[in-house]
């Protein structure tokens, strides 16, 4: 098992370096002189040239990337904001708990709705419940979460006055954003659980379990569910990552001061290091979550465990 | 029934002209059916038609192609039909937007701002007094363009990368697929945001951003399909008659792996429209006054408390479009590969 974990971690490193390279390249090709942007409109040409040299902006691309990557991977140095001169990493880190909580509550909503609905749908295939659940799941996937957020605000904040429409101070603030961000994932998990469950309950060992007179609830809960949920775990992990990305939109809708809103504001103000840092930070978190899911997968899937014994 | 009987009747069917009377209708029925299933011959003039039996009704004119079969399965699926109708309406709306919309999308009427839906402005007006119905109608053009062009670009680039990767394997495969892994390590919408932030706002840049972000998915699908077909006998046969790699890939391999690409393409258009709307929503996509649905929602957010119609109609337009594409995509998947049907 250690060999498996070690292999996964080793595979992650080149991906992380690749991600940092792509993010750096994207910001490198962005038009505009970073030195001029940092100094503002009143700066003289001499000052700009001085700062360019100080920042190493005249060095070849690859040297600049090397410096950036060394900073990121050895000292967690993501650079400084053009606007406030604050350390990008500290700014991101201070907002990370908010974004992480938002994504995590979204995942909880998704799992709590998705798995039971998926199981019932599969066990009662083509029933009214199944058909309506699948229709709702498709609607859930089809509704952009920023629109859903607006509708939620319209109904539950403006109309009924049950929940606040912006901010993230109390648990009451968290409910609408969590429902908003979690719905499309709930739809994905429902569909995945259903199809995985359907595949499992058609297998011979389930027929055997039924043939020996096992109660249907036990057949489903003890025999089928264990195997059916293995692929669902991967989907949950992936969804967690996507929710971190999707948080950019949800945070904008609900004015939640997380990494997403910080990035959107930074894009508007052309604060490139902050945008670069934000993308990189979320991509790194996404990769680490995927790594964790892969490792978890190794533990719950005996076939993978057996390979590395 | 003896095999002699069968072969003699079959022979008659093929060769004799004129009519012969069948002695036992039921027996002939069975014979012809059996015959059809064994040989699937084509009906042609001069074929014997036993009395009271219409051979043409039983023996097909021509063997159905795989696509005809897929089409037959698709139109049996009510949800897929609903999806097709939605897409058709959307396409017609986009084509005839000039005739459908009562006003131009940019026509302002500052004396008539944020008016609720009424007989004159069916969906109400926005903060500049522009007719929301007209803007939603014109918006269909933008969404269709972004969806289809972005997915087209992603399919072509991803398809080339995937085919090269799958066909040649080895080092080329390794390099391309690791690059795809890196792109996949960044959540799609975030990658699109990063690219759009670098390129700046605008319709073309949104298409590029959304397109690039979805390349890895097509590359992976095409690679997997090419890998599964590369060593098949018909590819070996093509190689044996001297076809070059380009011809083998384009003429023999790709046409045989279209099913997953078409399904992913349909669902991909939906995702591309969603991503583009998302980019516009945070101000990175299409800029006003172009009536992009996401951009309209972005403006509407500020007025959510007193002008609900500004957000509901563009939002519902996005939702119905994506829903239609998803229904069609799911239907296509079931029709192309019935084994996958849950």
Tell me how close the Cα of A20 comes to any Cα of chain B, in angstroms.
Answer: 9
Q: Is A64 on the interface with B (CB under 8 A)?
A: no
- Banded model confidence at residue B342, pLDDT cuts 50, 70, 90: very low
Could you report the per-residue pLDDT of A108-150, keeping only the tens digit for each?
Answer: 999 999 999 999 999 888 899 999 998 888 888 888 888 988 8
Q: Is A158 on the interface with B (CB under 8 A)?
A: yes
The per-residue pLDDT for B27 is 45
Query: Quick check: B294 and A144 CB within 8 A?
Result: yes
The per-residue pLDDT for B137 is 93
Neighbour-count burial for A28-66, b at 16+ CB within 10 Å, e otherwise? bebeeebbbbbbeeeeeeeebeebeeebeeeeeeeebbe
Q: How far apart are CA B193 and CA B209, in angstroms?
A: 7
Tell me which of B182, B200, B267, B285 to substitute to probe the interface with A (most A C-beta atoms closer than 10 Å): B182
Query: Quick check: B342 and A150 CB within 8 A?
Result: no
Residue A307: exposed, middle, or buried by beta-carbon count in 10 A (0-12, 13-18, 19+)?
Answer: exposed
CB B190 within 8 A of CB A282: yes
Judging contacts by C-beta atoms under 8 Å, the chain A residues touching residue B319 are 139, 142-144, 147
DSSP structure class, residue B255: G
Q: Is B308 on the interface with A (CB under 8 A)?
A: yes
Query: Number of residue pairs across A and B with CB atoms under 8 Å?
Result: 137
Query: Quick check: B188 and A242 CB within 8 A?
Result: yes
H/E/C letters for each residue in B61-98? Answer: CCCCCHHHHHHHHHHHCHHHHHHHHHHHHHHHHHHCHH
Q: How far apart are CA B317 and CA B321, in angstroms?
A: 6
Mean pLDDT of chain B: 80
Q: Is B193 on the interface with A (CB under 8 A)?
A: yes
| Per-residue pLDDT at B107 exceeds 50 | yes
Token output for A213: 């007179």
| Per-residue pLDDT at B85 exceeds 90 | yes
H/E/C letters for each residue in A8-53? Answer: HHHHHHHHHHHHHHHHHHHHHHCCCCHHHHHHCCCCCHHHHHHHHH
- Banded model confidence at residue B152, pLDDT cuts 50, 70, 90: very high
Nearest CB partner across the interface for B187, out of A142, A194, A282? A282
What are the residue ranges in chain A where pLDDT is below 70?
Answer: 308-309
Tell me how close the Cα of A110 comes to any Cα of chain B, in angstroms.
Answer: 18
To which H or E segment does residue A158 belong? Answer: none
The per-residue pLDDT for B59 is 55
Tell me how close the Cα of B164 comes to any Cα of chain A, in angstroms.
Answer: 21
CB B30 within 8 A of CB B58: no
DSSP structure class, residue A258: S
Judging contacts by C-beta atoms under 8 Å, the chain B residues touching residue A254 are none
The stretch B109-138 carries a mean pLDDT of 86
The per-residue pLDDT for B24 is 44
Judging contacts by C-beta atoms under 8 Å, the chain A residues touching residue B278 are 144, 146, 249
Tell me how close the Cα of A236 comes to any Cα of chain B, in angstroms.
Answer: 14
Contacts of residue B83, defined as CB under 8 A and 6 or more positions apart, other chains included, come to: B323, B324, B325, B326, B327, B328, B329, B330, B331
Better-predicted residue by pLDDT, B317 or B256: B317
The per-residue pLDDT for B55 is 54
């Amino acid at each position: 098992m250690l060999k498996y974990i070690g292999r996964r971690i080793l595979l992650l490193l080149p991906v992380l370096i690749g991600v940092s390279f792509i993010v750096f390249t994207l910001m490198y090709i962005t038009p505009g002189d970073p030195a001029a942007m940092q100094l503002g409109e009143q700066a003289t040409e001499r000052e700009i040239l001085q700062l360019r040299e100080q920042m190493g902006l005249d060095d070849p691309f690859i040297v600049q990337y090397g410096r950036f990557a060394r900073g990121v991977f050895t000292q967690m140095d993501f650079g400084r904001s053009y606007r406030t001169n604050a350390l990008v990493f500290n700014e991101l880190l201070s907002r990370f708990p908010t974004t992480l909580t938002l994504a995590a509550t979204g995942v909880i909503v998704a799992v709590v709705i998705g798995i039971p609905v998926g199981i019932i749908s599969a066990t009662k295939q083509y029933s009214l419940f199944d058909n309506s659940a699948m229709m709702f799941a498709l609607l859930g996937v089809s509704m952009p979460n920023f629109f859903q957020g607006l509708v939620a605000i319209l109904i539950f904040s403006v109309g009924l006055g049950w929940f606040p429409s912006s901010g993230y101070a109390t648990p009451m603030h968290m409910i609408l954003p969590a429902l908003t961000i979690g719905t499309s994932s709930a739809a994905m998990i429902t569909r995945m659980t259903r199809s995985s469950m359907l595949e499992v309950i058609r297998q011979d060992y389930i027929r055997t379990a039924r043939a020996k007179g096992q109660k249907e609830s036990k057949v489903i809960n003890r025999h089928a569910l264990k195997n059916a949920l293995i692929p669902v775990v991967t989907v949950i992990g992936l969804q967690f990552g996507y929710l971190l990305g999707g948080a950019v939109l949800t945070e904008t809708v609900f004015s939640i001061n997380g990494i997403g809103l910080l990035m959107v504001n930074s894009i508007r103000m052309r604060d490139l290091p902050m945008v670069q840092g934000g993308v990189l930070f979320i991509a790194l978190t996404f990769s680490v979550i995927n790594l964790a899911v892969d490792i978890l997968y190794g533990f719950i899937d005996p076939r993978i465990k057996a390979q590395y014994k | 029934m003896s095999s002699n009987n069968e072969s003699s009747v079959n022979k008659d069917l093929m060769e004799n002209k004129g009519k012969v009377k069948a002695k036992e209708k039921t027996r002939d029925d069975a014979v012809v059916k059996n015959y059809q299933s064994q040989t699937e011959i084509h009906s042609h003039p001069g074929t014997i038609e036993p009395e009271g039996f219409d051979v043409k009704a039983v023996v097909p004119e021509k063997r159905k192609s795989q696509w005809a079969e897929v089409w037959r399965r698709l139109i049996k699926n009510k949800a897929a039909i609903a999806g097709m109708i939605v897409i058709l309406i959307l396409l017609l709306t986009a084509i005839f937007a000039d005739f459908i919309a009562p006003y131009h999308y940019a026509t302002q009427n500052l004396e008539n701002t944020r008016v609720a839906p009424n007989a004159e402005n069916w969906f109400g007006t926005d903060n500049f007094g522009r007719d929301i119905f007209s803007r939603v109608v014109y918006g269909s053009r933008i969404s269709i363009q972004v969806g289809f062009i972005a997915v087209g670009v992603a399919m072509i680039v991803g398809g080339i990368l995937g085919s090269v990767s799958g066909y040649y394997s080895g080092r080329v495969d390794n390099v391309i697929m690791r690059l795809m892994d890196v792109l996949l390590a960044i959540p799609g919408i975030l990658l699109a945001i990063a690219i759009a932030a670098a390129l700046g706002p605008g319709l073309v840049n949104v298409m590029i951003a959304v397109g690039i972000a979805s390349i890895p998915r097509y590359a992976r699908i095409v690679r997997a399909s090419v890998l599964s077909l590369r060593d098949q006998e018909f590819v070996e046969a093509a190689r044996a008659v001297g076809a070059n790699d380009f011809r083998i890939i384009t003429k023999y391999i790709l046409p045989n792996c279209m099913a997953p690409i078409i399904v992913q393409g349909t669902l991909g258009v939906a995702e591309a429209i969603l991503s583009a709307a998302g980019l516009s929503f945070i101000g990175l996509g299409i800029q006003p006054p172009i009536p992009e649905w996401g951009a309209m929602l972005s403006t509407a957010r500020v007025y959510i408390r007193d002008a609900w119609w500004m957000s509901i109609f563009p939002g519902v337009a996005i939702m119905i479009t994506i829903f239609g594409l998803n229904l069609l995509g799911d239907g296509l998947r079931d029709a192309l590969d019935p084994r996958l049907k849950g």
